[in-house]
Amino acid sequence: MAAQRQSYPDDHWIKNRDPEQVLAAYMDQQSKTYSRIKNSFVQELAGDLRGKRVLDYGCGAGLFTVYAALQGATAAIGIDAEETVLSAARLLARREGVESICSFTLSDRFPSFEGRTRFDLVLLKDVIEHVDDDRGLIAAASAALVPGGRLILSTQNALSLNYLFEGSYNRLWLRRRDWFGWDTTHVRFYTPMSLLGKLRQAGLRNFAWRSVYLIPYKLPGLPGSGRQFLRLDALAVVDRMLGAIFPYNRLGWNIIVRAEASALVRSYAGTAHSVPAAVPAHFAL
């Protein structure tokens, strides 16, 4: 049984009722090197979005939902379980002039799409490590795709140098067996092999991989420096050089995979799947 998820504390920015402040905090995270590289890989894997229908599940403050609309998507739907970030997402869509294309929905479950409502692209960015029934979520997401549609997901990777260092320190030295990465609401880790098995079980195929944070570049601050972290962002050049090349594209702390639905994946008769009480705002460095 997965460990019980923890809620974000009340003083976390995601709990702020002011959309301006939430959006500012969110965009500050997205400006960090780690997030910028990860987002660029997601955009690369998404490809041409003109005329496409896009579902961003766990959309946070809507960065990718709005990006899809700006890239010519005919419909860009963002779903999140926290109204505070959805208010910020609506604000972002208004600022970018795409509020008529973007739609944001409050829900703690993956919707059941009826009739002919299907998507060309479904994004699960840093979501599956938060939910108990990850297999069901992937199956439901693949069933929401048109035949040949694409699913993109990202998650933290136990087959990585950062897991060897930070994971060993937390799980072995500190004996924090409930440590599952940078967010206290995570319930598991993945490897490329375990993730591939779940994707194939859902009928997905034609996989493309990217990875980020191949070499850790956010380190504990030196004693007496007064700084909590030492950021060596220049090391991120390794991500840009190798993050799309096998085998390095499966060895980063964060792995991103794009998979394609076959013509046979049309429906899913399972149960609904809960989103975390506060879907992650895509943790940044």
| All domains in the chain, ordered by first residue | 13-261 (3.40.50.150)
Check pLDDT > 60 for residue 266: no
Residue 172, pLDDT score? 84
How does residue 77 score in pLDDT terms, banded at 50, 70 and 90? very high
- Taking the C-alpha atoms of residue 41 and residue 140, their distance in angstroms, rounded to an integer, is 24
Averaged pLDDT for residues 264-277: 50
pLDDT higher than threshold 90 for residue 265: no
Q: What average pLDDT score do residues 54-83 get?
A: 96
Cis peptide before 216 (omega within 30 of 0): no
Element (DSSP H or E) covering residue 119: strand 119-125
Q: Are 14 and 278 in contact, with CB atoms under 8 Å apart?
A: yes
Paired tokens of 88: 């910020």
Model confidence at 273: pLDDT above 70: no
Distance (Å, whole) CA 55 – CA 42: 14
* CB-based contact 75:103 (threshold 8 Å): yes
Least confident of 36-40, 125-129, 170-174, 271-275: 271-275
Whole-angstrom distance, CA of residue 183 vs CA of residue 129: 10
Residue 225: pLDDT band by 50, 70, 90 thresholds? low
Mean pLDDT value of segment 128-137? 92
- Render pLDDT for 180-194 as a digit per residue (tens, 0 to 9): 888 777 889 999 999
pLDDT tens digit sequence for 38-67: 999 999 999 999 999 999 999 999 999 999
What does the pLDDT read at residue 218?
84
